[in-house]
Amino acid sequence: MLSLINHTKTLDTTRLLSAALLTRNENGVGVIDDKIGEYLDIVAFNQYMGWYGGDLKTAPNAIWTTPYNKPVLVSEFGGDAKQGLHGAKEERWNEEYQEYLYQQNLLMIDRIPNIRGISPWILTDFRSPRRLLPGVQDGFNRKGLISNKEKKKKAFYILQTFYKKKTLRYR
């Protein structure tokens, strides 16, 4: 991997390099210390708090740490919701759950040291033949903020508000 990083840097010295690093949990703290991070310009990691693990109620209090004094990017986060499916915020697959997931994750992300960016997974629902949950997935990955029918989900507006606040803060 190091030879690939070094080769890439010789091809273009102006581009910052990153990769989705492995993370681990140590005594309730998320640790981003994948050894390859030492050689990269940006510390990035994927996390799906409240979707593939973790508790949304306590997500805003989650602590993350990294030994690298570099910009940090959450390279993927999110959770599925079928547009138009509504219910309690504690019930997976509906818009209220995805909205709550974004609210809680963004509160957590704001507290990560050196955080410099996020990349929600993903903007629009897309075909995925392995996603077979009848009546919900029906062959689609539903993590999009916009449905495959081009309708914005509730979580879209949570992220929009988050970005607007950031824009105002840095003007």
Q: How is residue 83 written in tokens?
A: 């547009």
Q: Where are the domains of the chain?
A: 2-163
Q: Determine the CATH number of domain 2-163.
A: 3.20.20.80
pLDDT in tens, 99-135: 999 999 999 999 999 999 999 999 999 999 999 999 9
Q: Model's pTM, two decimal places?
A: 0.94
* 7/49 Cα distance (integer angstroms): 34
pLDDT in tens, 128-160: 999 999 999 999 999 999 999 999 999 999 999
Q: What are phi and psi of 49, to 5 degrees?
A: -55, 125
pLDDT of residue 169: 73
* 90/22 Cα distance (integer angstroms): 28
Q: How is residue 143 written in tokens?
A: 């993590």
Of 78, 87, 92, 47, the closest CA to residue 155 belongs to 78
User: Is the CB of residue 60 less than 8 Å from the CB of residue 108?
Assistant: yes
pLDDT of residue 168: 81
* 108/43 Cα distance (integer angstroms): 17
pLDDT of residue 170: 67
* 92/101 Cα distance (integer angstroms): 10
- Can you count the helices (H) and strands (E) in the chain? 3, 8
- What three-state secondary structure class fits 96? helix
